Amino acid sequence: MTHSIAQAAAHSGLSIDTLRYYERIGLVDPPARDSGGRRTYSDADLDWLVFLTRLRTTGMPIKMMREYAHLQHIGNVTRSARRQILLDHRADVRARIAELQSCLDVLDYKVDLYTGLLADEQKARGATA
């Protein structure tokens, strides 16, 4: 099945401009063209776009994404190198998650503190009314 650039953008969550940019910098192979010269994307292309979107969402730099895509093009002999890129990035993501969890813990503490203080104020007003 083939998909238009608008469908590929909607499926991946990327803008049409971003799809063209990814193509220009080599993250995405130039898609096939229909008889009218319009880009058409396969299901495999959509899967790749979703994967790229996940990498970007997790903070992988474009430079690293380009390296991964380059290795992907080379083929199976690069599996180890691609795995290492993903392992390193996964470690970075886990470290950021731990940092965010620590920040969330502080926010939870403060919210609970203010909730208790406001409840105490409410009780005090009720006792004097």
The backbone torsions φ and ψ at residue 55, rounded to the nearest 5 degrees and listed phi first, read -60, -45
In the predicted model, what is the mean pLDDT of the chain?
A: 95
Q: DSSP secondary structure string, 43-108?
A: HHHHHHHHHHHHHHHTT--HHHHHHHHHHHHH-GGGHHHHHHHHHHHHHHHHHHHHHHHHHHHHHH
Residue pLDDT, tens place only, 43-65: 999 999 999 999 999 999 999 99
Q: What's residue 63's pLDDT?
A: 97
Q: What's residue 128's pLDDT?
A: 72
Q: What's residue 87's pLDDT?
A: 98
CATH 3.40.1110.10 holds for 2-93: no
Q: What's residue 129's pLDDT?
A: 64
Mean pLDDT confidence for 19-23: 95
Mean pLDDT confidence for 94-100: 98
Q: What's residue 105's pLDDT?
A: 98
Give yes or no for residue 127 having a pLDDT over 80: no
Q: What's residue 126's pLDDT?
A: 83
Give yes or no for residue 119 having a pLDDT over 90: yes
